[in-house]
Amino acid sequence: MESGTWKVKTGLAQMLKGGVIMDVINAEQAKIAQEAGACAVMALERVPADIRAMGGVARMADPTIIEAIMKAVSVPVMAKCRIGHFVEAQALEALGVDFIDESEVLTPADESHHIWKHDFKVPFVCGCRDLGEALRRIGEGAAMIRTKGEAGTGNIVEAVRHMRAVIGGIHRLVNTPQEELMAQAKEMGTPFELVAEIHRTGKLPVVNYSAGGVATPADAALMMQLGAEGVFVGSGIFKASNPEVRAKAIVKATTHYQDPEIIAEVSKNLGEAMPGLDIKQIPAEELLASRGW
């Protein structure tokens, strides 16, 4: 018996495909999320919209919150650590969380280096804005990727930009002649082996979710049609006026993303969505997506 292998790390991400992972800040929210059909929950002290509003340094959540959520639900529990903060990651692994998100939503601990994730038995998910960033994270051992979007805004525009960049990057590599792959790897700043693998297979070697801005069932289905294999919903559920109904609707829309009649049906009478933010009104230094490289 061998635990913590690449196969079981990436395999858990495969089990999450076609699902919705919801941010929760206590056991009660976690139960609502599970009941609505979330395939996992992200245990946090504050959702991104509140982190954005509060400012200051955002860190790993208090372990008592994470443990309470782990006790409350049977679905996998994820938790976030700061970019490069491998000791927060060690602590989360010791707590027994099922997945660690090395996340730009928290204040980075290291501006030059991400965590060397191969050293851990617990799988990691990391954010990316384009294919190069995705492949750097996979090279470091991320067993799952999510496009960053812009967390806490309720605005899907950055999520779309980043998903198109990743999927477009894959299409370009597939059509790049073999002899140009090394130059491509150099230009993208990514490991050659991964560039060659994408050229050969036409897909990422790990599951790719969408994150950062999903607020409605149609947003979730949009990301799925653009090529996401599942969606993270952060502030979009518990900052809305009727979280239970909205959570169920987003789960249904993610499964039936190719069925416009179902999308229309589940979009009815959801109440107020979270208040949104125009990305252009956010000062550049406050954009979360630009954290990490």
Active site members: 80
Cα–Cα dist 204/200, whole Å? 11
Taking a C-beta distance cutoff of 8 angstroms, is the pair 85, 62 a contact? no
By beta-carbon proximity to another protein, the closer residue of 4 and 139 is 4
Among 50, 68, 91, 98, binds another protein (CB under 8 A): 98
Cα–Cα dist 242/140, whole Å? 39
Site membership for another protein, residue 8 (CB under 8 A): yes
Site membership for another protein, residue 92 (CB under 8 A): no
Residue 146 Cβ vs another protein, minimum distance, rounded to whole Å: 17
- Bridge partners, 9 (sequence order): none
Residue 54 Cβ vs another protein, minimum distance, rounded to whole Å: 30
Q: Map the footprint of another protein across residues 232-261, applying CB under 8 A.
A: 248, 251-252, 254-256, 259
Site membership for another protein, residue 131 (CB under 8 A): no
Q: Map the footprint of another protein across residues 18-37, applying CB under 8 A.
A: 18-19, 34-37
Cα–Cα dist 121/4, whole Å? 4
Q: Supply φ then ψ for residue 12, to 5 degrees.
A: -60, -40
CA distances to 71, 134, 149 from 24, rounded to whole Å, are 14, 25, 19
Binding piece for another protein, criterion CB under 8 A, among 12-20, 151-159, 172-180, 186-194: 12-20
Cα–Cα dist 247/35, whole Å? 9
Amino acid at 281: Q
Residue 116 Cβ vs another protein, minimum distance, rounded to whole Å: 18
Residue 229 Cβ vs another protein, minimum distance, rounded to whole Å: 8
Site membership for another protein, residue 38 (CB under 8 A): yes
Binding piece for another protein, criterion CB under 8 A, among 101-109, 120-128, 183-191, 193-201: 120-128
Site membership for another protein, residue 93 (CB under 8 A): yes
By beta-carbon proximity to another protein, the closer residue of 241 and 258 is 258
Site membership for another protein, residue 276 (CB under 8 A): no
Residue 6 Cβ vs another protein, minimum distance, rounded to whole Å: 10
Would you tell me the crossing angle of helices 181-188 and 192-201 to the nearest 10 degrees?
120
Residue in the block written with tokens 């960033």: 133
Cα–Cα dist 198/194, whole Å? 6
Taking a C-beta distance cutoff of 8 angstroms, is the pair 204, 136 a contact? no
Structure tokens at 242: 């009727």
Site membership for another protein, residue 117 (CB under 8 A): no
Dihedral (CA of 150, 137, 176, 185) sign: positive
Among 22, 99, 204, 211, binds another protein (CB under 8 A): 99
Q: Which residues contact another protein (rule: CB under 8 A)? A: 1-5, 7-8, 11-12, 14-19, 34-40, 70, 74-76, 93, 96-99, 121-123, 248, 251-252, 254-256, 259
